[in-house]
Amino acid sequence: MKTLRQIFSWVIPVVIGLILALLIRQFLFQNVRVDGPSMLPNLVNNERVFSFKQSKIHRGSVVVFNADGVDPQVSTKTDYVKRVIAVPGDTVKSQNGNLYVNGKKANQSYIKMDQRKAGTGNWTLKSISKQNNWVRNAGATKVPKGEYFVLGDNRTVSNDSRYWGFVPKNKVDGVVKVGFWSKNKTRKYNVNQFWKHYFAN
């Protein structure tokens, strides 16, 4: 009996801890590993970040989402990390390195001019949806209700909304935040707080 009590004395706290960890991961936040170069220079390959599940999604927010069912080339749960460029109801256009959301020039100071010009291309939602044969929302002129238009910061290599369309809200796992351990204040700002100045001059 004594042995049984001793076993329960350490088993119960472990079980409680596991349950709490699962609940936190499911409903509050989780640790995410960035895979690949598509978010350079602000997030690097293998960088560890937090994904906050209850945070509000803004234009300029960096999000993690399940690409299965979004990118036609993905057939299993695969996390993509991208930046939200436009939210439901927005129009989007890219011209000469500038992004225009609802006709207003977006602030892209989080990347260099060559990344904007060489990587982004010239297009409207309607033109790229037809050019890239989107499976969903072909010919769209606005971001549909409950969906987002996302781009990687490293536009020349990023596989993003330009090629397969919008990200449904129910596919988004959370908003990405760089942890306190990051020593690069500029990159940290560009991920954690940039959305506050999305249309800043």
Residues taking part in catalysis: 38, 82
Residue 4, token pair as written in the block? 């049984």
Distances (CA, A) of 22 to 18, 51, 81: 6, 14, 22
C-beta separation of 150 from 169 below 8 A = no
Strands laid side by side in the 48-52 sheet? 29-33, 48-52, 172-177, 62-66, 79-86, 147-151, 167-168
CA of 74: how far to CAs of 45, 54, 146, in Å?
20, 26, 21
In this structure, is the dihedral angle defined by the CA atoms of residues 62, 66, 170 and 90, taken in order, positive or negative?
positive
